[in-house]
Every structure is written in structure tokens, then in C-alpha cells.
A and B are shown apart, each in its own frame.
Chain A
């Protein structure tokens, strides 16, 4: 997924706590998110979900399955 592109979340993988965390912060199945940037070298990915900007560690980002529009 490229920077500044939108995508829809299709599935959250990972453990129950991680899923719960993401869901609490407003990243859930069907939600449209925008990728803002990727720091590189397996660093964090910055996304925007609604009006929230958040940084996901590389491993977390890998568990958010999206479908690009």
C-alpha cells in the first residue's frame, strides 16, 4: 500500500489484545484508513483513521489486512 492512499480494513489478525487495542482506537473491519508514511527499515507505519493519526509498529501494521481502493 502506498503513502497517501486510502484502503478499507478487511481483517485484523494477531492476538485478542492487539485486536482489541486496534478496535478501541477505531481501527475495525470495514473502516477506511489512509496510510500517511512508513519510516522504513521495519520501523513504524503512520496511518490516519477517521480524525486520529496513529503510529503502528511494523509488526502491528503487518496484521492489519486492507483492501486498496
Chain B
């Protein structure tokens, strides 16, 4: 009686894609090891029965060497063997390395079925595997699959029932590798292929001179494209909708609204020159949707488009190699670039993915750096929208301050925290060119996540602000913080509200600055402070979950201290 199906395999063999195919549950997949840091569960209908399918984090062997691997292995050993099936996903383009885990699973007496995945890529690369022979040698069912297109998945499901434990004596890893060598010799035929463009690019990106050149070009181009797409969406799609369709409709509505009391204030906000101003009115129906859909969403789309593309192509691990050196000085290693880049989208997935790092120390440093020095897309979009009109100098200034902060803070934490930064050991995937439908799915998935997370918080946030403003409750808070804010940071009292709201959502907080009519210097300081000070509530909760209460408090105190120092320094240092 099968009750559970576990998906297990080496990192980056496409377990999550197989999982999506089996269960219809969409999960994140990328072309680098360690995309799955959480265990996903779904259901497969097998002969009318619902069976739970569990997608485990990637592992190279049943002798785990990292936390994620330990989780995978312990889950597998916990469940009664008679009631489960293990689908071992194997990368056909790299049969040899993958078979270690396969043989260990069989030795363990688990009912195993092998899914020889990425069959299309193997064919493309001139790797031919004799599936029938491999099945005979392993004594477990072996099915050639290509999860991205769906080839072989039906057959895989059909043969799940054929699995049964096979008797095998346990061998040491040395002897296993020897045996694997013999198996591979018998079943795998390689066609020699000449170096092609892809291999040449793969090579060039890990050599120092060409690698740095490529990295600079890619980062520069990514930045340009993100801006271009974002601005394109704003000027061609969202702005016309807001100004030509939405505004006239709203204005007609307000025209008939005689008594401008509480509800008017809440929904529409203040009229600027007797007109609705999406940037300054601050109503639930005016500024709130404009911030989210008119200013932030276009950049969320363009940022995730580029990030997903770089992820699926497999460029990020190569970037990690080049940055290993620098990140070592911050107590991290090259692979920390992945959480950092994800953090630029939203700090929450960034901090979650610090699980790819081995030690608690690294995770603390990475999480703290992300929540202080890495602004999320919504915040960046608002900074561009607001400071951009004063010129690129100020926008660049915010990034420069944050970058210096990351370096200084990392270096200090690396010095004062006990322990050392572990060495980096990472498999580098080949470049892959993702099918468009996969890229589209991923983008859709991420944007949907953003909307679900952001829209309610923004609406409720603006509502709360308006209620507090209407009943003048902010005056109390302003009174308490005013000495610090205006004395130390040179900001007007009104900015206190924005900084406090930053705890709810950063984009709304910057939105609160819009009606204040701040000078470029004040805006620059306020935007920088919003980036480094307290994280938003979602980030705060994830930090708590990932670091524990003690480290959360430590991290928070660091943030507050840094905000005060940086805010005061900037205020004194900038004359204009």
C-alpha cells in the first residue's frame, strides 16, 4: 500500500519540475543548486487514490553534509518503507555522479524508481544511455523523462507500482564509485562533439579576465533592461490607464460628492488644486493603487523577468565564483550572492534562501546585510520615482551609501563574530536556455506572489495612515521622535510618519514622503534611512523565524544604531 512518494536526487537535476508535473503544484525552479530550501508537498491521483508527494531538497548522498541534506535524509529514513516509493531523479547528462545516491538508496532497502531526467539535453549533448541495460544492472525500474516538456512522466506514474525493495550489500563510497564506473562504461555512449558557442561562453565566464568583463557587461545590461522595461510599462500602459481612464472616472465621482468628510478623506484623500493627484492625495482609491500598480508593479515585472532569465540560464553560480573573494572578507562565501540578489527583489525570499549557506554565523551576517543594505524592488522603484527627478546623482548616492554600508558592516561582523567563514564548494551547472513557457510560468508565479502579499497590506496601510491622520493621532508619535528626526537628520516632522510606516511597507512609506515637498537632500536622507532602518513587517517575521529571537534582537539593534549614525552623518556631510 503506497501512501507517500518522495522525490530525491542530486541538487539541480529538476526535482521541482518533476514535482510540478506530478502534482500540478507550481514550485520555484532555477538552474542552480539549492533552489528548493523548503519541503513542498502535493498530491498525485494514482488509480483513484490520493497519494502525498514530497519534494525533498537536493542531496549528493545519504551521508549528509549540510542542513538541507540532513533534512532530506532524515525525512526519508523516518517513514515506514512498505508505505512509500522513492522517485530518484537523475540528471542524464551526468549519470556517473548521480548514481552514488541511487545505489545508496537501493542499499538502504527503499523501493526506488529512477527517473532519468533531462533526456532531451542529454541527447543534445551527445550522451546516449541504454535504459534497458541500466534497469537490468540496477534491478529497479528506470524511465527516461524530460520534465520540462513532460516526456516520460506518464510512463513514470504508470510504473510507480512496480517498485519493490532490492537486496544489496552495503559498500563503502570508494567501492561504490568503482562499481559506478563499471556501470557507466556499459550503459553510456558519448559522441564526441566539438566545442560550441555555449561551451566557449561557459568557459569564458569562469576565467578571471573574461569572466569579470562578462560579469560587468551582464550586470550593466540587466540594470539597463530592467529600467527600460519598467519605464516602458509605466509610460505606455499604466500611466495612460491611470490618467486617461481611472482619473476622469474618479473625478466624476468626487464631483457629486458634496460633503467632504471622513469617508472622502479615507478613500480619495486631499485634492491638490481641486484635482486628484495620484502622488499626493493619499487616499485608499487614489495613491494606494497608484503606488502599487503605477509605480512599483512595472519594476517588479521587469526585475523578475531579468532575474528569472539569469537564474534559468545558470549564470548566477558563475557570478558567485568571481565574487567569492570579496564576500570572503565579509565572512561569507561566493554563494551568498544568490540570497543577496533575491533580496533585491524582496527581502523575504532573500533571507529564506540564506539556508543555502552552511553555518549559523553566515546566515546571520547574510540576513543582517540583506535587511540593511539591500533595498527591495518596491523601495527601489519608489526611490527612482521620487529622487529620479532631482537627477541620477542622488539615486546613485543612495546605492553608493548602501554598498559602502554592506562592505563595512560585513567586515566588522566578520571580525567580531566568533567562528570563521567556511570554504566554498559548488557545482557549476551548464548554461541552459529555458523554454519560454517555463520562464513565463515563473514570472507569473512571482508576480502573483507579489500582488497577494502587497496589495492588501498597502490598502490597509493607507487606510490606517488616513485614520490616524484624520484623528491627529500621529501628533503624539511625532512629538516623541521629532528631536531625533529634525534635530539629527534634518527632516521635517511629517517625515516621522513615513519612517514609522516603513515598518509596514517601504513603498507606502516613500509614498508618504511625496506630499511633504522635501528638498533633494532631505529626500535622499529619508530614502536612505528607509532602506537601512527597520525592515518591513514581513521581513521582520522571516528574520525571527530564521534567526530566532536572540539574533533578531541583535540584528535589530545593529539596524537602529546604523540608521542613527548614517542619518546624522549624511545630514552633516551634505551641505546642499
Contact = CB atoms under 8 A, between A and B. Distances in A.
B320 interface: yes
A51 B93 contact: yes
A60 B424 contact: yes
Given A25-B427, A51-B97, A57 B65 contact: no
Contacts of A25: 60, 97, 425, 427
Contacts of B203: 36-37
A49 B94 CA distance: 10
Contacts of A49: 97
A56 B425 CA distance: 5
Interface string A30-57: 0100001111111110100111111111
Nearest to A4: B203
Nearest to A53: B428
A31 B425 CA distance: 17
Nearest to B177: A28
Interface stretch (B147-155, B204-212, B234-242): B204-212
B177 to A, nearest CB: 6
Given A21-B425, A39-B211, A40-B208, A55 B60 contact: no
Interface in B423-470: 423-428, 430
A49 B528 CA distance: 46
Given A24-B63, A50-B97, A43 B324 contact: yes
A2 to B, nearest CB: 13
A57 B423 contact: yes
A46 B202 CA distance: 12
A7 interface: no
A26 B61 CA distance: 10
A55 B325 contact: no
Nearest to B204: A37
Given A23-B173, A26-B100, A28-B177, A44 B334 contact: yes
B14 interface: no
Interface in B57-81: 60-61, 63, 65
Nearest to B61: A24
Contact of B321 (A41, A43, A50): A43
Given A46-B428, A52-B97, A37 B174 contact: no
A27 to B, nearest CB: 9
Most chain B CB within a 10 A radius of its CB, from A18, A22, A55: A55
B269 interface: no
Contacts of A59: 423
Majority-rule SS of B interface residues: helix
Interface in B85-143: 93-94, 96-97, 100
A23 B333 CA distance: 21
B206 A51 contact: no
B60 A37 contact: no
Contact of B325 (A37, A41, A56): A41
B1 to A, nearest CB: 33
Contacts of B325: 39, 41-43
Contact of B173 (A28, A46, A55, A60): A28
A44 B317 CA distance: 12
Nearest to A51: B94
B322 interface: yes
A50 B63 contact: no
A17 B65 contact: yes
B97 A26 contact: yes
Nearest to B188: A51
A50 B173 contact: no
Nearest to B422: A57
B321 A46 contact: yes
Contacts of B333: 57
A51 B202 CA distance: 14
Contact of B94 (A43, A46, A52, A57): A52
Contacts of B427: 25, 52-54
A43 B320 CA distance: 11
Interface string B154-194: 00000000000000000001100100000000000000000
A57 B426 CA distance: 9
A43 B207 CA distance: 11
Contacts of A39: 206, 208, 211, 321-322, 324-325
B425 A29 contact: no
Interface in B188-226: 202-203, 206-208, 211
B206 A22 contact: no
A63 to B, nearest CB: 9
Given A17-B65, A25-B60, A26-B177, A55 B97 contact: no
Given A25-B97, A25-B425, A55 B321 contact: yes
B320 A55 contact: yes
Nearest to B333: A57
A18 B202 CA distance: 26
Contacts of B97: 25-26, 49-52
A5 B173 CA distance: 26
14 contacts: A17-B65, A24-B63, A24-B65, A25-B97, A28-B173, A36-B206, A39-B321, A39-B322, A46-B206, A53-B430, A54-B426, A57-B334, A57-B423, A60-B424
The list of the 5 closest CB pairs from A to B, nearest first, reads: A57-B423, A57-B424, A24-B60, A24-B61, A43-B325
Interface of B: 60-61, 63, 65, 93-94, 96-97, 100, 173-174, 177, 202-203, 206-208, 211, 317, 320-322, 324-325, 333-334, 423-428, 430
Given A26-B100, A60-B424, 15 more contacts: A21-B60, A31-B177, A37-B203, A37-B207, A39-B208, A39-B211, A43-B208, A43-B324, A44-B321, A51-B94, A52-B427, A54-B425, A54-B428, A57-B333, A57-B424
